Amino acid sequence: MRAHGMRQILDYEDDKDPVIQDHPEKSLGHRNSAAMQETGAAAEDVRKNQKGAAVVAYYWCRVCKIKTPATEAKSCDCGVTMCNRCWGEWDFICPLCDSDMS
Amino acid sequence: MSENKSRLQTLFEQGEFVVTGEIGPPKAATGEGIREHAKHLQGYCDATNLTDNQTAIVRLSSIAAGIHVLRAGMEPIVQMTCRDRNRIAIQSDLLGAYSLGIKNLLCLTGDHQSFGNHPTAANVFDVDSIQLIRMVKRMRDEKVFACGEQIKHDEPRFFIGAVANPFADPFEVRVYRMEKKINAGAQFFQTQIIFDLERFERWMELVRERGLHERAYIMAGVMPVKSAKVASYMQKFVSGMIVPDDMIERLKKAENQQAEAVEICVEQIKYIKNIKGVKGVHIMAVGWEEIVPTIVEKAGLLPRPAVPGVKVAVV
C-alpha cells in the first residue's frame, strides 16, 4: 500500500508517466538459475540433476597420478586407491594386501 | 604412581626390547575384526597401534578401536592426527580417551585428505604434530588446556609418542625434526618402515650424535612384505620409503615368497636389535596380521615380559 501511495505522490509532483518500481517482466528468481523458473515436476528434475553433479568426488590414482571420478576408481581397505584401468593392470588384486577388488 | 603408567612405558623403563603391532580399523561400524586381530597379537606384542583414518579414508574411530582392543585384553596406542580436528575437538577427544583407559597416544600430522576417499573435504591442521605433542604434554604436566585454563582435576596422563621418517628428504633435517618433537614432549618414536638398513644405521648415528636415543625410546618400523609384487608396488608408488632392488630380487627368486618374506623380516629385526639406541620394533603387517606371531617367535622375542601391577582394561 505504501508503494502505491508513493506512486501517487510521484505522479502528482511532476505529471510524468507513473514510475514503475518493480519489474513484472522478470520473475522473482531471475538472479538464480533457470531451474528456478521451472515449476512443478520439471523444476524438481533440474534440481536433482544439479545436486547429483555437485557431489561427484575425484580420487587421485596412486599409480597413473590422474584425477579420476570416484565412480571410475576404487579404494581398498588398506588405503590403495587406483583408477579402474590401473586396477586392471594389477588384475583387480590389491598390490599391498592381496584383497580382491573385482 | 606406577599404576598410572601404561604397560608400554613400564616395559621401556625396565629396559625391555619392546614389540608393538598395528591394526587398521575397518570401514564399518563393528569392532569384531579389531578384537579378532588383537587376540592374534596378544602375547606376541606388548601394545598395538590403532590408526586414525589412515590414508585419509573414513574408518571406525581410533579411540573406539582402542576400546575394542582394551576389551580384548590388549594395550592400545591410539593415533591422533591433526587433519580432522581443531584444538577443541582434539582436547575433548583426549579427555574422553583417557577417561576410558587409553594411556598411550601417538601424535602425527596425518595424510592429506586429497589422497583419501573424501578428497574435497575441508582439512583442519589447526595445530601440527609438534604443537599437538606440546599440547598433550602441557595437559599432563602443567595441567592446563591449550588456552591456558587450568584442568582442575583428573588431567590426561598420556605416554606420548611421535613418528620419525629416516627415509624422507632432506635426510639431514630428519634428526632436527625428531629433536623438535622430543623438546615438545615426545617420549617414544616409531619410525617409517625400514628396508634400507644402511640408511637407517646412518640416521641412528646422527640420532646418537645428538644424544636423542637417551632422551626418547626409539622403535624401528618393520613390515613383512608378502611378495615381490608388493615390494615392487611399494618401491614405485609409495612415497617416503626406500625398497632395495636386492630385496625384490630375493623375493622373486624364492620358491615360497611368503616364507622368504618372513625370513627377511626376521633378519631385519635381529639386525635392528643390535643397533645401539633402538629400544624396540613396530611391526606393520598390512593385511597380514596373522603372520606377526610367527615373526616374533622366529626373531627370538618370546616370551613377552609380564608387567605386574599394570591394569589393561576399559575404565
Q: State pLDDT tens for residues A13-69.
A: 555 555 555 555 544 444 454 445 556 666 666 666 655 555 567 888 989 989 899
For B187, list phi and psi in degrees, rounded to 5: -105, -25
Percent above pLDDT 90 for chain B: 88
Once rounded to an integer, what is the mean pLDDT over residues B190-203? 96
Residue contact B117–A75, C-beta within 8 A: yes
CA distances from B305 to B19, B240, B268, B279 (A): 10, 33, 22, 14
**Chain B 31-70, residues with CB within 8 Å of chain A CB atoms:** 54-55, 57
CB distance B170 to B198 below 8 Å: no
Query: Would you say residue A94 has pLDDT above 90?
Result: yes
Model pLDDT, residue B286: 87
User: Among partner residues B27, B55, B229, which is closest to A95 by beta-carbon distance?
Assistant: B229
Least confident of A18-27, B120-129, B158-167: A18-27
For each of the domains in chain B, give its residue range(s) and CATH number, in order of start. 7-227+259-298 (3.20.20.220)
Query: Would you say residue B21 has pLDDT above 90?
Result: yes
DSSP 8-state code for residue B85? -
- Is the pLDDT higher at A99 or at B265? B265
The number of angstroms, rounded, from the C-alpha of A50 to the middle of its chain's C-alpha atoms is: 4
Model pLDDT, residue A47: 62
The alpha-carbon radius of gyration of chain B (Å, integer) is: 19
Q: Which residue blocks in chain B are alpha helix, DSSP H?
A: 7-13, 32-41, 62-71, 87-99, 129-137, 173-184, 197-209, 228-237, 245-253, 257-273, 292-298
User: Among partner residues A59, A70, A98, which is closest to B226 by beta-carbon distance?
Assistant: A98
Looking at the complex, does the CB of residue B243 fall below 8 Å from at least one CB of chain A? Answer: no
Helices H, strands E: what count in chain A? 3, 4
Residue contact A95–B230, C-beta within 8 A: yes
Model pLDDT, residue B313: 74
Among B222, B265, B228, smallest CA distance to B249 is for B228
Residue contact A98–B115, C-beta within 8 A: no
**Confidence tier at B312 by pLDDT (50, 70, 90):** confident
**What are the chain A neighbours of B288 within 8 Å (beta carbons)?**
97
Model pLDDT, residue B314: 78
**What are the chain A neighbours of B114 within 8 Å (beta carbons)?**
60
pLDDT digits (tens, 9 = 90+) for B128-157: 999 999 999 999 999 999 999 999 999 999
Smallest Cα distance from A98 to chain B, Å: 8
**Confidence tier at B120 by pLDDT (50, 70, 90):** confident
Which amino acid appears at position B293 of this protein? P
Number of neighbouring beta carbons within 10 Å of residue B276: 10
Burial profile B257-270: b = 16 or more Cβ within 10 angstroms, e = fewer = beebbbbbbbebbe
Model pLDDT, residue A31: 47
Model pLDDT, residue B228: 94
Residue B64 burial class via C-beta count within 10 angstroms: exposed 0-12, middle 13-18, buried 19 and up: middle
- Quick check: ipTM above 0.85? no
Interface test with B, best of A71, A96, A100, A101 (most B CBs within 10 A): A96
Is this structure's pTM higher than 0.80? yes
Residue A70 φ/ψ region, left for φ over 0, alpha for ψ in the -120 to 50 degree band, beta for the rest:
alpha
pLDDT digits (tens, 9 = 90+) for B230-272: 999 999 988 888 999 999 999 999 999 999 999 999 999 999 9
Is the CA virtual torsion B112, B117, B119, B122 positive or negative?
negative
Query: Would you say residue A2 has pLDDT above 50?
Result: no
Number of neighbouring beta carbons within 10 Å of residue B88: 12
Residue A98 φ/ψ region, left for φ over 0, alpha for ψ in the -120 to 50 degree band, beta for the rest:
left
CA distances from B285 to A1, A87, B20, B121, B249 (A): 77, 22, 11, 29, 21
Smallest Cα distance from B22 to chain A, Å: 12
Quote the mean pLDDT of chain B: 94
Model pLDDT, residue A30: 45
Query: Would you say residue B180 has pLDDT above 90?
Result: yes
What's the rounded Cα separation, in Å, for the pair A73 and A68? 6
Q: Tell me the β-bridge partners of A68.
A: A59
